[in-house]
Amino acid sequence: MIVGRLGRESTLLKDGKYIKDLSYLNRDLKDVIYIDFDDEKASFHKENVILLPRWEGDSDDRELYDIMPFLENLGGAHGTDARGEIKKYGREGTGKKYNELQSARRDFILKQRVSLARDSRVESRARRSHGQASGWPSGHKDGITAEQVIV
């Protein structure tokens, strides 16, 4: 997943600070994500930056783990502009927001499936109660309907 690294040779000096120039990667910037705790280091390409809190050695810090599903999904979505996805989920808290929206999406789909299954069972019971599930089509070739057979 990590295919490039920017060292000092890939920076420009601006106002006494070294700024990373992502164009040195020689890749389409729509395919580049820069992850750091400070976006000033890539101020020319802020739309490519995902900000994570500075790691302070806390063993409970989950920020990198939280961002992985977002990055994996983006890596599998060939042709998708990473900058648009970063904008959609935000530059800060990206992983958490992505995971929350994916969870809500899964819940919505599950509710839809349960609702469809319930509606299908209700419809099936209604057909059976009207004789349509008894093997008699509702307009039998002899002119006898399932409803007439049941009566």
Determine the pLDDT at residue 122.
75
Smallest CA-to-CA distance from 102 within 94, 113, 91 is with 94
pLDDT attached to residue 148: 47
∠24-27-33 over CA atoms, to 5°?
A: 90
The pLDDT of residue 118 is 84
Closest CA to 127 of 97, 99, 103, 150: 150
Query: With the CA atoms of 17, 23, 29 and 32 taken in that order, what torsion angle do they form, in degrees rounded to the nearest 10?
Result: -70
The amino acid occupying position 98 is Y
Which neighbouring-strand residues pair with 92? 51
User: What is the pTM assigned to this prediction?
Assistant: 0.68
| Domain 9-55+62-130 superfamily per CATH | HAD superfamily/HAD-like (3.40.50.1000)
- Inter-residue contact 5 to 21 (CB < 8 Å): no
Q: What share of the chain is helix, strand, coil (3-state, %, to 5)?
A: 55, 10, 35
- Say if residues 69 and 95 touch (Cβ distance below 8 Å): yes
Q: What is the pLDDT along the chain (151 residues), one digit of tens a residue?
A: 566 777 888 889 889 989 999 988 888 999 999 999 988 888 899 999 999 999 898 888 889 999 999 999 998 888 899 999 999 999 999 999 999 999 999 999 999 998 888 888 877 777 777 655 545 455 545 555 544 444 3
Q: How many CB atoms lie within 10 A of CB 72?
A: 11
